[in-house]
Chains A and B, each alone.
Chain A
């Protein structure tokens, strides 16, 4: 099959050898789980339990609200200890509403499980089961999966692309999942093909994962509609737009979604979760997390219940003391965590604890306009120009230069010989754009409110005057009649 090479990209050191031979193991059940009600893009789920309620494993604890949302389920059995604000896995460490579950250690299932043959179900019913299981994109973007599966009814879709890129350094959770559970992953792909009424699936796996490629090829042998494709190892291959280009040679236009060019993209771990949810009714309760980095003694690929605090993972894997930097996700696009008390959520694919030597900072120096960032940018932007515009406060200029197309992949900052914080500037500018948009929308809203109030006051004045005139006329008439 012909492959296409997207522009730019970098080859960061993989560090995958640290964990790629570590089979997936179960993390011992923690005593307390902190399950945030928002672990996805869209509206937060609404809690349907109250503090003190007993819950069984797999029971619904917060239900999806609105068209773009995802339900949340109890990852184990026990008691709802509290519904409170708890720090989110986010660089700001700000609190979000979180359901705290005290485990009873029994891990007792709710009787909601039912086995069905997915191929007897209608596509709507499959999407319904995926939605009921609270499945979101597990590659990290956490877009509710059922919403994506339903796209096929509004847009013609020709290809399903399954993203097994896993291009971030250190992470091996998808690699291990494909090696150990290839059958389930392929089954999930078949179910998604059926649900979205698509004939053909392309599974893109980076060629630095030969064992995963072999396992997936073997599992997909019997299904001619599913092609397992080895793609070159090049960061950011795991970005959906880059993966689509590599496999199909088609570029997603700026500001559009893959659906607009007839492509649907899901992650391998999402396929795995879909198979389990649709076949057995098992909601998304746990995920595989790579725990790696120089500060970790026993690096693992762990199956972790959603809501487990990062500190429990670190303790299990033998991290003593404070690592120099703690990341959720990979080192290129992952989030710096302020502390280890934040929970693992549906989109957490890795916890990386780094030593001082690994994060040794370099002092930034002035830009020498060498253009290496231009060569590295996978979307064809000119990062040095973008950065100088953002630094100078020219946000409109930055937008004209393609700020919104930036993936924040970090390739430019990775190759910059002056160690300039390019990606940090772009993230700042994107935040400013959002603030500007919010302020504009609020101003419009308050302007209509003010106009409505003016109109109402005017109307009241008019009505008052009219009533007065009517009263006067009536009085005059009465006086006239008396005289």
Chain B
């Protein structure tokens, strides 16, 4: 059997490994236009910062492909012919498959502002983005980062560390309102400012100005003109599925590939996994889940199914983590989902950038946690959400979920 996987990211690689564990004989081919080796996309910022080398961010040693007997094709797939079970590649070659997995991931979204096609405007999502930003940084004194999400804050952080002045434009009223409340957002914002980041809330780009084809400044809706040589646009990512337009595959309105519970598309013998895939969330909404963890889990399920299993993708209770400069963030369950009558128990440890937020429903059952500063183990937190534990019980047991390094200050619930 010929299994072909489009994409060499975490979804593609997880799928390949899972498929190999079920089928020792199948030929497994990974196609990628981005890189020869699987690397951790979440670590791009560390390569930019010089904290890691490009080899360090490869999760497997390079013997992995040989040991697993994975073939690699470094090319871009330009067309899928589902009836002929064939892929057309940019080089003019073609590739036949018996079973296909599309794990083409996503690319950074670009907003069509006037001037967004100027030199010096880019995203920070792919390996090529990293190479671009590394070169760009050499001739940059001041940069503008647009978009108040996780990639935005990472871009701001690494540019600052490289000695570049950064203005960080965020459209929303406080930082990352999709996950944080105003107090948490303000804490993060102050933390960023403390690190020298010029954060501007409630500010949008209206135009990017340039000279001789290169960026010189950004104009905002507050009437300001901010001089800069680089603009990093971090307003989200979108599924990389444009090349599938004529294939007859079902896409949702965001461009994500529509799949069933087994991650199978509407085409025969074609599955999809990872950032490019649109799945049904716990609340019935269909959209892509663009996280490392979900890509890994989807890839694994899809890999088993490529090899003949009939497994279903079960997301389980949501969890995620991030790091804002020095502040670690852990979330479990569902915060900021605006359930009817939901309330929040919230504590800031005095004088520290440590916060705990527990969201609960009118019947006192806990639905979500938002933790900043300290390290928390998401496993018990997820368990408590699943068990619908009451708030009081959870607060009594909260210390059991701590995962701090040894010798860190003791966690205490404040009175009242």
A binds B: no
